[in-house]
Structure 1
């Protein structure tokens, strides 16, 4: 859809649009009295190599087939190129997601209300980091976007999770959802904005870190996430065809949504506290410093979004990111001749990924899975892990949401 057609009136309409396909599946599951089937379905979709067709209702099987219908038509070469980018820079992508994409999303006043309503993120602040990271790993690993790839299954699962949360929020008679003010929960504009945090915002974060991608690599990254957007149920009218269109869409959504609110401030503060557990003890100031690095000079409206979200002032760790901005033009970003600040940032980003794996291995949080190939490419330390099983992170969000708003 041409970006010139993305008007405020159009986006206002998108705030009232949801996801009829996934919403219909969840409606039937609840109408049939199969509330437990929601979480059973979540566990089955990614945990099994074969579709458990004998255990799922016919309308769920139809949903699965319809949502992956576009996958065989995807350009395999573009997907491969996008996945190569992730194999090269995955740890840095994880850092960008935690310190740029998520805080930027929390700055969207109307969209963040759904996250605040579920309540669980304040108590388990890094849960969203795990959710986000796992989806990106599943999608961007080799084979993730093949017809029965893990990334397709995870995306189908997230889409149903959105519908389940939407269903429960809209039926919470104790605290009616103010749709006239906020739009419907997890509406099309908010889904498109979230998709941009995985796609365009990640590219902007890499640019800020002086990671130089070719136009072909950037195009491939956007192409892969456009495919994910289709599976997630984002309307075709909100899926950019180019990097310029993605920038225009992101800019418009930020202009419409970025606004201070207590919920966004609280979630950002909880995220920072949670991420402190993911970095070495002497670097506890790094989460706040990196958020300031990405959001002090907001490209969208000239706002200092970090200050708006009451992010603590950066300490000496801000010099790690600032040093990178002083040196540019390095294409061999993680090779033997990489300049020192980039090497340090790679070490820190690896520490975060390894901390997530350690948390999983110790049974303290959710199951987090990284394919062996990526662990080898990123030179991650080997860990003793539990036997692989189903993802629990998205199951738990549905459970927590149901406890609060069902």
Structure 2
């Protein structure tokens, strides 16, 4: 497959819906209806334009090759190592996304440059819904999340592609198939790599299961199935050759990263510990990428973070056989994720719906 051609390909089903809604002026009405459409089992609302109802019906099923047992195992992996997944995703994957100049420019043109809470909360909701025990089946809420995300992407494509600041011929389609595939690999493969880099044990089976869930999600999200690698090893290779090759410095990436670090620093009372955020970012991303994005250096906090990682490794090694260690890590995960949810939703228009199985 010619991966470069994916730069010029969007998501036809979702794109057709947005074109119809913009043309008929019904976007506000549809947004109000879809706000109440949250569960896989929820009947598709009747009071929707035909184009929207047809789209929701056509996109509400996972691919036939989905392995329910692997999805269930990935849920158990997340319950066991959710704090590590959340940390590497927050400090590493989000920043790696900003190391891609084209997607960073899209975020700038959609006015998300100075709203990192919005992008982080949307990503957090996506991951929380994905890691429910039956994310794609009865009782879950992931499928409507994906369907709405596809429409958001389509809306961005519609308006950014018509902006005089975007050159379709040279820059391709905004939020194109290549961008979506790259984000998939960053949030799956590179999260596992980041966990292993800081000493967190992830077995080959856990890595394959975690990637499998993301691949299923990618299919429902409208990513071409023939573009997504089938195995974790193949995905690793594509991540190295396609995604990492796209990393480069950009003014937009620098500003996005600066705003993200400032947001994380709000999690920590006072100013004394602000340097630890940048140190965490530098610990889980490539040094060259961190330099491109102008992540601050802090020798003192870098040493402290490494010491903390050694302690976490010691706890993690004993977690399966030590109830005390498990209790400490589980409590740390609850505090981290709980603080993130409270901070992201405080006074903001975006709220996080935490699934009951993860809330406890």
TM-score by length of 1: 0.80
Maintained 8 Å contact 1:97/1:132 = no
Q: Say which is worse superposed, 203-212 or 52-61, in terms of deviation.
A: 52-61
Write the deviation string for residues 49-108 of structure 1: whole angstroms up to 9, x where unpaired: 623431122322221222223356522111100111111122222221111001101001
Maintained 8 Å contact 2:33/2:45 = no
Unpaired runs of 5+ in structure 2? none
Q: Distance in 1 between matches of 2:349 and 2:266?
A: 12
Structure 2 counterpart of 1:288, from 270, 274, 278: 278
SS in 1 for 2:35: helix
Structure 2 counterpart of 1:272, from 261, 271, 275: 261
Q: Say which is worse superposed, 244-253 or 223-232, in terms of deviation.
A: 244-253
Tell me whether 1:240 sits opposite 2:229 in the alignment: yes
Maintained 8 Å contact 2:194/2:285 = no
Shift of 1:253: 2.1
Q: Say which is worse superposed, 104-113 or 186-195, in terms of deviation.
A: 104-113
Write the deviation string for residues 168-211 of structure 1: whole angstroms up to 9, x where unpaired: 11223xx2421222211000110000111221111112212322
Tell me whether 1:75 sits opposite 2:64 in the alignment: no
- 1:39 corresponds to: 31
Tell me whether 1:375 sits opposite 2:345 in the alignment: no
Q: Distance in 2 between matches of 1:362 and 1:119?
A: 20
Distance 1:176 1:363, change over 3 A: closer
Q: Distance in 2 between matches of 1:365 and 1:53?
A: 23
Q: Say which is worse superposed, 252-261 or 149-158, in terms of deviation.
A: 252-261
Structure 1 counterpart of 2:135, from 144, 148, 151: 144
Maintained 8 Å contact 1:121/1:128 = no
- 2:118 corresponds to: 127
Q: Say which is worse superposed, 205-214 or 153-162, in terms of deviation.
A: 205-214
Correspondence 1:332-343 to 2 at 5 A: 332-333=318-319, 335-336=322-323, 338=325
- 1:21 corresponds to: 13
Tell me whether 1:63 sits opposite 2:50 in the alignment: no
Maintained 8 Å contact 1:278/1:352 = no
Shift of 1:346: 6.9
Unpaired runs of 5+ in structure 1? 298-303, 377-406
* RMSD of aligned Cα (Å): 2.6
Q: Distance in 2 between matches of 1:150 and 1:97?
A: 21
Maintained 8 Å contact 1:209/1:324 = no
Q: Say which is worse superposed, 310-319 or 12-21, in terms of deviation.
A: 310-319
TM-score by length of 2: 0.90
Q: Distance in 2 between matches of 1:91 and 1:252?
A: 29
Write the deviation string for residues 295-347 of structure 1: whole angstroms up to 9, x where unpaired: 244xxxxxx110111011135332344236657685444754649xx96x876
Maintained 8 Å contact 2:40/2:143 = no
Q: Distance in 1 between matches of 2:40 and 2:223?
A: 26
Write the deviation string for residues 225-275 of structure 1: whole angstroms up to 9, x where unpaired: 100000111111221111111111111223431111100001000100111
Q: Distance in 2 between matches of 1:347 and 1:64?
A: 39
- 2:188 corresponds to: 199
Distance 1:166 1:147, change over 3 A: farther
Structure 2 counterpart of 1:310, from 294, 309, 323: 294
